[in-house]
Amino acid sequence: MPESEIFDIAIIGGGIVGAATFYKLQIKHPHLKIVLIEKENMLADHQTGHNSGVLHSGLYYKPGSLKALNCVQGRKELVAFAEKHGIDCDVCGKVVVAVDKSELPMLDKIYQIGIENGIEGIEKIDAEGIKKHEPFCEGIAGIYVPVTGIIDFRSATAKMVELALAENSESSLALQEEVIDIVPKDGYKELKTNKGAYNSRYQVFCAGLQADRMARKDGVQLKEKVVGFRGDYYELTESGHHKVKNLIYPVPNPDFPFLGVHFTRMTNGEIECGPNAVFTFKREGYGKTDFNLRDSLDALSYGGTWKLFFKNMKFGINEYRRAFSKKLFLKTLQRLVPSLTMNDLKPGRSGVRALLLRTDGDTRDDFRIETKDTSIHVLNAPSPAATASLAIGGQVCEMAEKAFGL
């Protein structure tokens, strides 16, 4: 096969992590011929394009973990990137609010984590301090985090790819091509897609909701499975819009692996409320009744899924009830903003989060990136991966330099 027909690197997955990896590799090594392969007809069409648009500070993640380190570094990089390239971004700050005395120990714990992670300007606030930032929010104590913000992740993803492609005219973006098979050849791998094939010496898999399946196709021995959780949002109507200025979060429940329902002002000015978190019967299913037989069997035949269910039975039932009841959803929101009414809410969009679920049912695993012969696999990159994307891309770039001798 002629040299010209073999890419140096193929990146599989066009979400923001794949885009950031493409950008970091191509900017640092402009001579490399790289192809980014995405199965949808546009970039950032799953987790990246369906998340809450929050630029996370690094408040919740274990000090020293990849999540903590990459979130703090990635946030700073992404803000600078947005400013340089005209991406909608607003570092507006957020409040984390305790409404009950039982939440105060967890609030203190989060504050200490924030201090250890080096989050700039973080401060404890009282009820009056909460009102200063969010006049309609009621709480007994809180944390103000000035470096949390909002960003247009879709536009950031597109810009990263645009800049990468501009570095080397031989690099390429392939949309609407799904990698369905990986065939090792002599000195390269053939990535067969639904439309053709791409040959590359090295591969980086950033497949998100399909990360475990792509890893197994590539011969990775993986015990865990990706399990999807759908989150539904409401939006504030015109009558409720003035009741939230920026971002309001509850104190997360330490027994439940999600951050809880919160308020988010988006870059387009809309205000979202959510998400809940329910098991989804389709990995890329955004409707409440979406179903895929393969995805369902995959998740429900896995022991880790059932261990998660049993550990979180009470929470899971409540989340499902709330998914189908606007009244219950409102009740949850009223803990933070009591003056909200049914007329202040209208149905919004939904997203699906991919979690590489451990065999013991634990969802709180760190970012996980592994190397296998000529491949690097981003196996677990849930929130705050979008915020951390440029830092993750930099880490993958360093791993590729060592593993592939770039």
Say yes or no to pLDDT of 323 above 80.
no
CATH hierarchy code of domain 3-48+154-224+365-404: 3.50.50.60
Q: For the chain, give every residue range classified as CATH 3.30.9.
A: 225-357
Do residues 45 and 70 make contact, with C-beta atoms less than 8 angstroms apart? no
CATH hierarchy code of domain 225-357: 3.30.9
Residue type at 313?
Answer: M
**The pLDDT of residue 1:** 41
What stretch of H or E contains 391? helix 389-404
Residue type at 285?
Answer: G
Report DSSP letters for 199-223, one per residue.
EEEEEEE--GGGHHHHHHHTT----
Question: Confidence band (pLDDT; 50, 70, 90) for 4?
Answer: low
Say yes or no to pLDDT of 345 above 90.
yes
**Range picked from 51-55, 229-233, 334-338 for highest mean pLDDT:** 334-338
Token pair belonging to 319: 């989340």
Q: Which of 41-45, 78-82, 191-195, 321-325 has the lowest mean pLDDT?
A: 321-325
Question: Confidence band (pLDDT; 50, 70, 90) for 256?
Answer: low
**The pLDDT of residue 243:** 97
Question: Confidence band (pLDDT; 50, 70, 90) for 338?
Answer: very high
**How crowded is the C-beta side of 141, counted as CA atoms within 13 Å?**
14
Do residues 49 and 24 make contact, with C-beta atoms less than 8 angstroms apart? no
Share of the chain above pLDDT 70, in %: 97
**The pLDDT of residue 311:** 81
Span 52-62, average pLDDT: 92
Residue 273's contacts (CB-CB under 8 Å, 6 or more residues apart) are 233, 234, 235, 236, 261, 262, 263, 264, 329, 333, 345, 348
Question: Confidence band (pLDDT; 50, 70, 90) for 260?
Answer: confident
Say yes or no to pLDDT of 398 above 70.
yes
Token pair belonging to 123: 């401060």
What stretch of H or E contains 159? helix 153-167
Say yes or no to pLDDT of 23 above 60.
yes
78-112 exposure pattern, b = at least 16 Cβ within 10 A, e = fewer: bbebbeeeebbbbbbbbbbbbbeeebeeebeebbe
Q: Which of 83-92, 174-183, 198-207, 259-268 has the lowest mean pLDDT?
A: 259-268
**The pLDDT of residue 252:** 87
Share of the chain above pLDDT 90, in %: 82
Tens digit of each residue's pLDDT (9 = 90 or more) over 135-184:
999 999 999 999 999 999 999 999 999 999 999 999 999 999 999 999 99
Do residues 345 and 330 make contact, with C-beta atoms less than 8 angstroms apart? yes
Question: Confidence band (pLDDT; 50, 70, 90) for 321?
Answer: confident
Question: Confidence band (pLDDT; 50, 70, 90) for 312?
Answer: confident
Say yes or no to pLDDT of 254 above 70.
no
Say yes or no to pLDDT of 310 above 80.
yes
Say yes or no to pLDDT of 318 above 80.
no
Q: For the chain, give every residue range classified as CATH 3.50.50.60.
A: 3-48+154-224+365-404
β-partners of residue 353 are: 229
- CA–CA gap between residue 47 and residue 128 (Å, rounded): 36
143 phi and psi, to 5 degrees?
A: -125, 135
| pLDDT mean across residues, the chain | 93
- CA–CA gap between residue 77 and residue 391 (Å, rounded): 8
- CA–CA gap between residue 27 and residue 168 (Å, rounded): 9
How far is the CA of 342 from the CAs of 306, 330, 333, in angstroms?
A: 35, 7, 11
**The pLDDT of residue 385:** 95
How far is the CA of 127 from the CAs of 111, 158, 264, 335, in angstroms?
A: 16, 41, 20, 14
